[in-house]
Structures are given as structure tokens and as C-alpha cells.
């Protein structure tokens, strides 16, 4: 089916909020629209024919942000008849028909389980000149069966599961994404190989709780096997994953990380709180000692591992002693970075009705102390790398720092952001290329390499970036399964910030 107008194709724009899962879902939304005949709007286009909001519901201000943006678009739509606005993602799954009631100029509302319906819903709304709201309660097919317009030539998201079986009291995600559904290992590896064939060097395995992968087909060691199988994919240089849950983290995964050369020595493992009492109230199913024990094992196997985390400040009932325990764990864990959040109520979660909701000023003061503690540690950890040689995968999103001097940026294998001088390679280094350079300065959130790069390797990903090609994955060609299909065994030897 083609939705393009007779005169010219209809243009679209996708605006994404939230976690990596949403970013990858937006790649699928773009792939679907382009398959249906739409073309991406130019950056400067202020009134594309279709604007899609892919929303998040984790943070308290998510609602205000969406409705504020919808309000800004209303006069634009009034001046451009035929323009359509669609709202999808977690907030759409939560608010459903309320979105059209609050913003009657919205044309389509679709949920997390029916992304594939968007082109049809847009066409139906145009034909009927009425809003279309479609929210499914469970998946019909695994999302990776959908076509995907990848944003990067050198790095790609690959979903291994969707949904979550945990019941954290602060988190609304399980009710919006559903129970965990695992994808067959063979199909995951097929998508990875397809991306590598397009020139991709790095993949991130993505799930709400990646290390519970295999629960549907009864193999609690499936994730470690999957990591090792990725090591056999020729041309794949970096493998990452997000996010694991400490309660499901097993020693075989640490061994797979340490023993598989292309698996990066970086680990994002949410802590949320260092207080056992708060973890119990959060229903997190592990305690601080267990968490620190995992970190100790990771560092014993991979002394160079960079470990990052998520922390929530001000959970209901958190005392000053509880907060101090969080600071103690942060100091012991020595994180390379941390995503820090002030607790916010989410309607429908148990935590929203708990006693002991803390005053804003108390939460803010603790939050500022936490940030100061984290930055002191991350700066000290980064300073240890001054004088070290790092391998940098040049990035476009973190881009060129200074066009005049040729300063560029990218990610080291451990995930740290590196700003480097191109030196005599200026004009020849492309996003997706590999550079080796020496760290000369460290800041809390990045490293600098101010001298001449030691080497520059041109890659197929760099060729694709230079040509303006991003890989497009036609999921229907990969033979990917419907949800509930029997799982194949892994070939022989990554969510949500709320986790």
C-alpha cells in the first residue's frame, strides 16, 4: 500500500522520548512509513505531513511534555490542512483515548504492541476524517518482524526480548510493555549478520531485562550463549547489551564477556538504591551486598571494565541513613558514570500510594549530594586513563567538536566518550571509522586526546556514512517468528532506565 499523494510523497518526522527501546521502536516506525511511501522530512521542515510522537511514561513530566508539544503543533496543523499527528509509545498505551480527548487535533493513537498498524491507521484517519485509536493488550508479532530504518551506519540496536516480568514498585513499564517475550536466538543472529553485511561494526542487544533472556524456552544460560555466539559473527567488532537486572546476573555471563573478544568490557547495571530497606520497598529482589559482589566478580574477570548504573533518590520512606548507604555503595562501586533520577510518582504504580512521600526540597538536596559524589568518582576513574591508548569508534551523533580544528568525538570500547584531534588525518576520518589515540586529559564525563592519532582505519561503515547510507532491515525477509513460536537452540559457542 502506498500513502503518497499523487503530486509528491508525503513527508514524516518522528520525535522520540525515553529509553533505548523507544529509540529502536522509532527506527521501526520510520521503516514502516518509508515502506508505505513516505519520505523523511528535511531537518528544516517545520510542517511535515505527518509528525509521530514516540512517548515515554517513566518520568513524572512525560505527560506535560507531550501535551505541551501537541499544543505547539496545533496552530501549525491549522495552517496546513492534511497534516497528521500520531502519538505512540508507553504514554499512548497508558492514556489511550484520553489523548484525543485532551488534544482533539491528534489523528492517530497507537500502543506499544501495534506499531505495525501505524500506516493503516494514518490512511484510515485521512479517509474517515476522524481520529483512530488502536491499543492492543498483547503482541501479535515480535516487533523485529517490522522493517527498520537504521539511524546509524556503524552501530545498531538488536532486540532480543520485549516486556518485563519484574514488579518493581516504582515502574510502570511492565503494564505498558507486557510480560517478557523472547526472540529465537537464530533470528537474533540473522539480524546481527544482516547488519554486519551492511557495514555495521557494533551492535547493542536490547531488552527490558536482557539477562533473563531464555525464560520462555527454559534456558537460564541462554544470554551467555548468545553473547558467545555473537563472537562468531565475522566482521562484528563490538557487542554491548542493556539492561541487565542484578537478580538475574549469573557467572556464565561474566565469563562470556571476559572470554569473547568482541564483547565490550562495559556493563550498565542499575543499582537504584544502596539501602537494603529501600530495595525491599522497591521490590528489587537483591541487596547491596549481592550487587557489590557482582561488581567484584566482573572486575576480577575484566579489570578494565567500565561499570555504569541508574540511581533513584527520594523513594518513599527513604531516610537520611538510607541515602548515606547509597553514597557508600557508590564510593565502593567506583562507577564510570551514573544516570541519576529524583523519584517521581507514576499513577498506577504501588510506590505512588506509599506512605513517606518526601518533600521536594529534601529530594533535591540529596540529589545534588549524589551528583557531587558521582562526579568526584567518575573524574578520578577517568584520570586513571590519562596516558593510555584507546580505540575510538568515531560517532556522528557526538560528532565533530570543531569544524575549523578538525576535532572529533567517538566512543572507546568501554563506552567512554572521547574527544580527539584529527591532526594530519583531518578531512579523512569519517563516522564509523576506527582511530587509536592517547588520552591527554580527563573530565568527569569525557576524555580528551589532544595529540596526533596513532592510527586511523577506514571501514565499510565509514564508506556508508560518507555515501549517506544507513542500513535498512526488511524484517519480513529475515524469517522472524511470531510471538510464542518454538525457540531454536543458540548457535554453538541490553532497556529501560527504570530497571
Cβ(333)–Cβ(292) under 8 Å? Answer: yes
Query: In 3D, which of 270, 275, 369 has the Cα closest to residue 316?
Result: 275
Residue 17: predicted pLDDT: 85
Residue 398: predicted pLDDT: 54
Query: In 3D, which of 180, 102, 169, 107 has the Cα closest to residue 139?
Result: 180
DSSP 3-state of 210: helix
* pLDDT tens for each residue of 395-454: 975 544 556 566 899 999 999 999 999 999 988 999 999 999 999 999 999 999 999 999
- Catalogue the E-assigned strands of 59-117: 84-89, 108-110
List, as one string, the DSSP characters of 161-184.
EES-----TT--HHHHH-S-EEPP
Check whether the bond before 243 is cis (ω within 30° of 0). Answer: yes
Residue 480: predicted pLDDT: 30
CATH placement of domain 389-472 = 2.40.50
Query: In 3D, which of 404, 399, 479, 473 has the Cα closest to residue 432?
Result: 399
Q: How far apart are CA 443 and CA 144, in angstroms?
A: 38
Does domain 11-134 fall under CATH 1.10.1370.40? My reply is no
Q: How far apart are CA 60 and CA 62, in angstroms?
A: 6
Q: How far apart are CA 322 and CA 488, in angstroms?
A: 45
Q: What is the per-residue burial (b if ≥16 Cβ within 10 Å, else e) of 7-35?
A: eeebbbbbebbbbbbbbbbbbbbbbbbbb
Q: Which sequence spans correspond to the domains of the chain? A: 11-134, 389-472
Cβ(32)–Cβ(144) under 8 Å? Answer: no
Residue 481: predicted pLDDT: 29
Residue 337: predicted pLDDT: 95
For strand 434-438 and strand 389-394, is the pairing parallel, antiparallel, or unpaired? Answer: antiparallel
Q: How far apart are CA 165 and CA 171, in angstroms?
A: 12
Q: For the chain, list residues with pLDDT below 50.
A: 1-6, 399-400, 476-499
Amino acid at each position: 500500500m502506498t500513502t503518497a499523494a499523487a503530486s509528491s510523497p508525503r513527508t514524516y518526522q518522528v520525535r522520540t522520548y525515553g529509553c533505548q527501546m523507544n529509540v529502536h521502536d522509532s527506527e521501526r516506525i520510520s521503516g514502516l512509513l518509508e515502506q508505505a511511501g513516505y519520505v523523511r522530512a528535511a531537518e528544516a521542515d517545520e510542517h511535515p505531513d505527518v509528525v509521530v510522537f514516540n512517548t515515554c511514561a517513566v518520568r513524572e513530566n512525560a505527560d506535560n511534555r507531550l501535551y505541551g508539544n501537541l499544543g505547539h503543533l496545533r496552530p501549525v496543523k491549522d495552517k496546513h490542512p492534511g497534516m497528521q499527528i500520531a502519538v505512540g509509545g508507553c504514554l499512548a498505551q497508558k492514556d489511550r483515548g484520553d489523548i484525543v480527548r485532551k488534544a482533539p487535533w491528534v489523528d492517530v493513537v497507537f500502543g506499544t504492541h501495534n506499531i505495525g498498524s501505524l500506516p493503516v491507521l494514518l490512511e484510515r484517519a485521512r479517509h474517515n476524517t476522524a481520529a483512530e485509536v488502536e491499543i492492543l493488550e498483547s503482541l501479535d508479532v515480535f516487533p523485529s518482524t517490522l522493517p527498520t530504518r537504521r539511524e546509524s551506519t556503524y552501530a545498531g540496536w538488536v532486540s532480543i526480548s520485549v516486556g518485563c516480568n519484574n514488579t518493581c514498585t516504582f515502574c510502570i513499564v511492565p503494564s505498558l510493555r507486557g510480560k517478557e517475550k523472547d526472540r529465537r536466538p537464530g533470528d537474533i543472529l540473522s539480524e546481527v549478520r544482516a547488519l554486519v553485511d551492511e557495514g555495521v561494526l557494533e551492535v547493542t542487544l536490547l531488552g527490558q531485562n536482557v539477562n533473563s533472556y531464555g525464560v520462555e524456552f527454559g534456558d537460564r544460560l541462554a544470554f551467555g550463549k548468545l553473547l558467545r555466539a555473537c563472537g562468531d559473527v565475522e566482521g562484528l567488532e563490538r557487542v554491548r547489551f542493556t539492561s541487565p537486572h542484578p537478580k538475574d546476573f549469573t557467572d556464565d555471563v561474566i565469563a562470556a564477556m571476559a572470554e569473547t573478544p568482541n564483547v565490550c568490557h562495559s556493563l550498565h547495571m542499575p543499582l537504584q538504591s544502596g539501602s537494603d530497606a529501600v530495595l525491599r520497598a522497591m521490590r528489587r529482589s537483591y541487596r547491596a551486598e549481592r550487587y557489590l559482589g557482582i561488581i567484584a566478580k566482573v572486575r576480577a574477570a575484566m579489570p578494565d571494565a567500565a561499570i555504569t548504573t541508574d540511581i533513584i533518590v527520594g523513594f518513599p520512606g527513604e531516610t537520611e541513613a538510607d541515602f548515606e548507604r547509597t553514597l557508600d555503595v557508590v564510593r565502593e562501586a567506583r562507577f564510570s558514570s551514573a544516570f541519576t533520577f529524583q523519584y517521581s510518582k507514576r499513577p498506577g504504580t504501588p510506590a505512588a500510594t506509599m506512605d513517606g512521600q518526601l518533600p521536594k526540597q529534601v529530594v533535591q538536596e540529596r540529589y545534588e549530594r549524589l551528583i557531587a559524589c558521582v562526579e568526584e568518582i567518575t573524574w578520578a576513574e577517568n584520570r586513571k586513563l590519562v596516558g593510555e591508548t584507546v580505540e575510538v569508534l568515531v560517532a556522528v551523533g557526538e560528532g565533530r567538536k570543531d569544524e575549523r580544528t578538525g576535532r572529533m568525538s567517538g566512543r572507546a570500547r568501554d563506552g567512554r566518550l572521547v574527544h580527539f584531534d584529527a591532526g594530519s588525518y583531518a578531512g579523512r576520518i569519517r563516522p564509523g571509522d576506527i582511530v587509536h589515540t592517547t588520552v591527554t586529559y580527563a573530565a568527569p564525563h569525557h576524555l580528551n586526546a589532544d595529540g596526533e592519532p596513532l592510527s586511523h582505519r577506514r571501514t565499510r561503515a565509514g564508506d556508508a556514512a560518507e555515501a549517506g547510507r544507513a542500513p535498512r532491515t526488511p524484517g519480513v525477509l529475515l524469517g522472524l517468528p511470531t510471538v510464542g513460536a518454538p525457540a531454536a537452540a543458540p548457535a554453538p559457542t541490553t532497556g529501560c532506565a527504570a530497571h
